[in-house]
Copies of this chain bind each other. A is one copy, B any other.
Amino acid sequence: MKQISTRFSMAVHTLSLIDMCPLECTGDFIAASVNTNPVVIRRIMGMLKKAGLIEVRAGVGGAYLLKEPGQITLLDIYRAVHAADENQLFGIHDNSNIACQVGRNIEQVLQQELRDAQNAMEQRLARTTLDQLNKQLAEI
């Protein structure tokens, strides 16, 4: 497979910066730290804004968090940038042949198993907050 889009890691990077220095955080400034094109960052900021994580100061530039950094988890960010389509990490083939016992039931059974696996991952993401992350960044 392709990997989960780097949009997610760039979004985390972006929020870290906004937490540390909201006023400086124009799209260009963040793009310089992430080392990418400002438009890519603006697109991500748009998603973070739509998810209610940040407020962007149109015209003047900069952005600030709408929640405490201790209340923003990696899972929130993951969801905000649509890291997984329809919140469903695993794709499952459909229209299996119902004349076959396996074909008839595989989708339902797999759906549950894979949902569990996805949940395990997401719960791990939910355990880490932006706050904790920024503390780790400072400690190195």
* A residues at B contact (CB < 8 Å): 1-6, 8-10, 12-13, 16-17, 20, 32-36, 74, 82-85, 88-93, 95-97, 100-106, 108-110, 113-114, 116-125, 128, 133, 136-138, 140
Contacts and interface: CB of A to CB of B under 8 A. Distances in A.
A82 B1 contact: yes
B102 A16 contact: yes
Q: How many copies does the complex hold?
A: 2
A90 B74 CA distance: 13
Given A1-B83, A3-B88, A136 B109 contact: yes
Contact of A109 (B106, B122, B140): B140
A59 B78 CA distance: 48
Contacts of A138: 101
A13 B102 contact: yes
Question: Does more than half of chain A's interface fall in helix, strand or loop, or is it mixed?
Answer: helix
Contacts of A96: 13, 33-35
B103 A13 contact: yes
18 contacts: A1-B5, A2-B85, A3-B84, A3-B85, A3-B89, A4-B91, A6-B93, A8-B90, A9-B91, A9-B106, A12-B106, A13-B103, A34-B93, A36-B93, A102-B137, A113-B125, A117-B125, A121-B121
